[in-house]
Amino acid sequence: MASNEPTAWGRRFLGFCGAVLVGVVLLWLAIQLLSQFWGWLTLFAVLAAAVYVVYRVIRWRRDRW
């Protein structure tokens, strides 16, 4: 079967459309899942940043002497 036949192009296009549809659905599901606990993720990120800043300040103060 030659690659320029209409059925081959049609199947490739249908496969591409199916892949795009699956990708969009998975992205929507991921966003829905993240929207349920993004507040907790933000809180943990802020706490981690605060711990890092305190650690760096303590090291900076000790290394001055």
Q: What is the pLDDT along the chain (65 residues), one digit of tens a residue?
A: 555 666 788 899 999 999 999 999 999 999 999 888 888 999 999 999 999 999 999 999 888 76
**Residue type at position 12:** R
Taken in order 49, 51, 52, 56, the sign of the CA dihedral is positive
Give the model's pLDDT for residue 55: 95
Helix (H, G, I), strand (E, B) or coil at 10: helix
pTM above 0.75, yes or no: no
How many Cα atoms are found within 13 Å in the side-chain-facing hemisphere of 10? 3
Alpha carbon distance 32, 38 (integer Å) = 10
Give the model's pLDDT for residue 16: 95
